[in-house]
Amino acid sequence: MLTDFQQATGCLLVKRNSIRFPPESLEHHTLVYKSLTYACCHYGNGRVRSIKHQPPKTRKMNCPCEIRIGCRAKKLHIIAFVMRHNHPVAAELAENYPENRRLTEKEKDEINDILKSSPSNLAVKEHIERWLSLFI
């Protein structure tokens, strides 16, 4: 359900905070989390380093988007949400995020078959680019 939402909107959410039920609680047998907070992958600040050094590459930009989920009556409910971003959001843009550039199982099997013949790194790279129309 969360994956469908992310694909439809282009909003890439990450788990920012979670509280699990203790093992001795009754809810522990049916639910894992007491509360969860998902936030846009652009929430927070990048780590600040010395001015002498190059600033680190980061995608953090204090995006306020978040979804808070909590347990009520032994069910998880959306308690609060902010769907406002401080950056462009589109499904087309989200396709380029590293999380969305994973190989499928079929693609992994194909690459593993090629790797069994011990090809050079360049040969593997060229094959992936040709076969998957990707540029690495």
Torsion of CA 112, 7, 11, 88, to 10 degrees: 100
Q: Are residues 18 and 44 in the same domain?
A: yes
How many whole angstroms separate alpha carbon 18 and alpha carbon 40?
15
Q: Are residues 15 and 33 in the same domain?
A: yes
Q: Are residues 79 and 121 in the same domain?
A: no
The pLDDT assigned to 127 comes to 79
The pLDDT assigned to 55 comes to 66
Q: Are residues 85 and 19 in the same domain?
A: yes
More confident residue, 103 or 47: 103
Q: Are residues 85 and 57 in the same domain?
A: yes
Q: What is the pTM of this model?
A: 0.67
Query: pLDDT digits over 48-65, tens only?
Result: 666 666 666 777 889 999
How many whole angstroms separate alpha carbon 2 and alpha carbon 123?
37
Q: Are residues 36 and 86 in the same domain?
A: yes
Q: Are residues 86 and 121 in the same domain?
A: no
How many whole angstroms separate alpha carbon 105 and alpha carbon 99?
15
**Number of domains, the chain:** 2
Which structural domain, as residue segments, surrounds residue 67? 2-100
How many whole angstroms separate alpha carbon 12 and alpha carbon 42?
9
Q: Are residues 12 and 53 in the same domain?
A: yes
Region 11-38: mean pLDDT is: 92
Region 24-36: mean pLDDT is: 91
Q: Are residues 9 and 22 in the same domain?
A: yes
Q: Residue 52 is encoded by which pair of tokens? A: 């002498």
